[in-house]
Structure 1
């Protein structure tokens, strides 16, 4: 497998585009020099007799593959032939599947220019867990986690056994000691050795967190059958521009006091921050009790308004994930293709739910949902 990886890397060298910057070209040359030096440092006899050297060499080549791919992706000069060659390399195939055009998350389809190469790995026993790349746009963090040759998926709540040994048991993401909300998807089908983890700026107790532009993020993963957790401390840096719109205006209707406190627009995400206000001296419980039942969720204790985001041309953004429901929360939408002049936030109630067609798994465009818009609560924001 190591020999095949090296051959694939070397075959990419002839496909390097002429337009690469001096910095990118220098990094490419350094990467190939690493491959050549590693190849010369291990003789054919050592390859047959020293398995640890072979494993180390495989990880050097894997790291080289990651450097090569991320540098080329970030350069913006990947030709179709080069892209096809890169996709054949296991590590880069995973990166392309996560950050590439087939991803269901619209923001990630244009994420190549903003990927950060962290390339961290932790080994316990015969399993190495690697976090090669991540992306942070100020509103959410996305990272890919890989364990080559190991199956991370298992049946929900299943116990450790030979069949699911090495599957993910627990995953914890911490910012300054606070556990953050996250979700994940397996990106490579039946092999399930790679997953993408999305981390939001909300704690598991539903408190919003204001991330700085640079910080450290702790990631702790335990696998079934392994007592020692895989622990990472990842340097996170915001790599995208952001346009922040704020409003101090509070809209009033049917005892609802609603404020669109912030709208953050990045090339990857559009994030809406919503707050429901109490009257002076009023408790949250009394505020909720005063609101008509049609605005409340199934249990009657929370406001169930949802939101559409529309620009001046009527282009409507699709949500990323589900709408949270509470007194103060963030909602994430796909990015705008171009920065709008004005943005209208349109609250609505779901009158009747649509159902996904038979056999559809994952995201789908719900055209049968019936919405009741609340024009009295609409907010229009101007983009300066």
Structure 2
């Protein structure tokens, strides 16, 4: 029986009337069905497809076990509590299109915050957070009635030379994050963490990530342990939602120092450091214009990271800090997803995006028939370095 047939059968089983099913079990039953349909399916490589199918089968097996318990006449409080703690089923990070976050949820790396605030009949929840020392990820879930759009929906209206924004009731209009009481907007440029929001397959859930970029001395811009304050405003709700959540780094890491250097057309790049966690891959590079004829930004140089089996990492964020006033020296930090499996080596592939109008450099990239950006790869700048496979495999500790 394939997973789709089994999914159908499980749904049919769920329609059979049950006797005295506790509310907590019924809610988890609904979550199982949702996870079976929403579990992301990667299509980058056959290996990723096989691994994702294995994770899906694990979810199906958990669903079978849970429904078998639900089908009994009585469920003890102890069993109900145990089911509640199953990470695979209860983790909200299953909604993320991010392998690292999915694994964090499946392996119990996410901390249960269970924070919630209610105003005017609308509740916001932050069920879980995960922090690996590089990025802090949290999900914001909206509950209530009368919503006409997604929690992230915003309409941009052009008004002459300016623009305005229109939000539907219940949409997020503003987010502010504070670390130990200090807003991230008040920090200096070199210390400022990055904040990004990502919609999910659930219209009522959004993922936020606070990226702790390294300072020039490689110390993190976010401490290993701190008090996070999140202030979130919704359209149509007068009072802001304020959360106070203790955060602690809860994963190990591997740091690999390098010194590999490449040159091309008056441009020099050097790989300074790689940092691996079970969730994230962090890359620090130094760039310099050797010919002193222009600025680093003139090249529009971008980077991809691949493993030795031809699999590309998904990019999460990045930041560059110039080390001189002429913008000819820069430290660049790039944040990527984790690898599917521990590689023996990784390759950094610099490339130049092709613009629709190469002369005007309008910022609009040229795309091919598949909608992919046309790229000019620079083989001369490509860097391949070996990785301690056994050490990284132990860090990942993936058990399907």
> Same fold, TM exceeding 0.5?
yes
Aligned to 1:290: 292
Q: Name structure 1 gaps, 5 residues minimum.
A: 19-27, 33-63, 84-91, 278-286, 361-365
Q: 1:149 to 1:123 in 2, by over 3 A?
A: closer
Partner of 1:275: 286
Report how far residue 131 of structure 1 moved: 0.4
> Could you tell me how far apart the structure 1 residues matched to 2:221 and 2:154 are?
35
Structure 2 residue 129 is the aligned partner of structure 1 residue 130: no
Q: C-alpha deviations, 1:108-133, integer Å up to 9, x for none?
A: 33232122111111233322211011
* SS at structure 1 position matched to 2:343: coil
How many angstroms does 1:169 deviate by? 1.0
Any residues of structure 2 matched to 1:246-261 within 5 Å, and which?
246-248=257-259, 250-261=261-272
Match of 2:327 in 1: none
Distance 2:66 2:153 in 1: 40
Structure 1 runs (4+) greater than 6 angstroms displaced: 10-14, 158-161
What is the alpha-carbon distance in structure 2 between the residues aligned to residue 323 and residue 194 of structure 1?
Answer: 24
> What is the CA distance between 1:222 and its match in structure 2?
1.3
In the TM superposition, what is the alpha-carbon distance from 1:16 to its structure 2 partner? Answer: 5.4
In structure 1, the partner of 2:337 is 334
Aligned to 2:233: 222
Change (3 A) 1:214 1:110: same
| Equivalence for 1:155 | 154
Q: Quick one: structure 1 residues 316 and 210, their matched pair in 2 at CA, closer, same or farther if it must change by over 3 Å? A: farther
- Cα separation, 1, equivalents of 2:369 and 2:200: 23
- 8 A Cα contact 1:124 1:228, kept in partner: yes
- Normalising by structure 2, what TM-score? 0.59
State how far apart, in whole Å, the 2-side matches of 1:351 and 1:164 are. 37
Report whether the alignment pairs 1:375 with 2:380.
Answer: yes
Q: SS state of the match for residue 147, structure 1?
A: strand
- For residue 176 of structure 2, the aligned residue among 172, 176, 188 is 172
Cα separation, partners in 2 of 1:4 and 1:184, compared to 1, 3 Å = farther
Partner of 1:39: none
Q: Which secondary structure does the structure 2 equivalent of 1:108 belong to?
A: helix
Partner residue, 2:14: none
Aligned equivalents of 1:208 and 1:115: distance in 2? 24
Q: Report if the CA contact (8 A) 2:354-2:366 is conserved.
A: no
Deviation for aligned residue 1:246? 1.7
Matches within 5 A, 1:306-325: 306-311=302-307, 313-321=308-316
Asked whether the 8 Å contact 2:178–2:229 carries over to 1, the reply is yes
Structure 1 stretch displaced more, 371-380 or 211-220: 371-380
Query: Size of the alignment, in residue pairs?
Result: 289
- Counterpart of 1:282? none
Which runs of structure 2 are paired with 1:1-384 in the superposition (5 Å)? 5-6=23-24, 8=26, 15=65, 29=77, 32=80, 68-69=83-84, 71-73=85-87, 92=90, 95-96=91-92, 98-99=93-94, 103-111=96-104, 112-113=106-107, 114-149=109-144, 151=147, 152-156=151-155, 164-176=168-180, 177=182, 178-179=184-185, 180-189=193-202, 192-202=203-213, 209-248=220-259, 250-277=261-288, 287=289, 290-291=292-293, 297=297, 300=298, 303-311=299-307, 313-321=308-316, 327-351=330-354, 353=365, 355=367, 366=372, 369-376=374-381, 378=383, 380-383=385-388
Note the alpha carbon deviations across 1:73-111, whole angstroms, 9 max, x for none: 2xxxx6xxxx5xxxxxxxx5xx45x425xx432323323
CA distance in 1, matches of 2:124, 2:28: 25
C-alpha distance in 1 between matches for 2:381 and 2:369: 34
Distance 1:165 1:134 in 2: 26
The answer as to whether partners of 2:232 and 2:240 remain within 8 angstroms in 1 is yes
Q: Distance in 1 between matches of 2:290 and 2:83?
A: 55
How many Å separate the matches in 1 of 2:222 and 2:130? 14
Q: Give the 3-state SS of the residue equivalent to 2:315 in structure 1.
A: coil
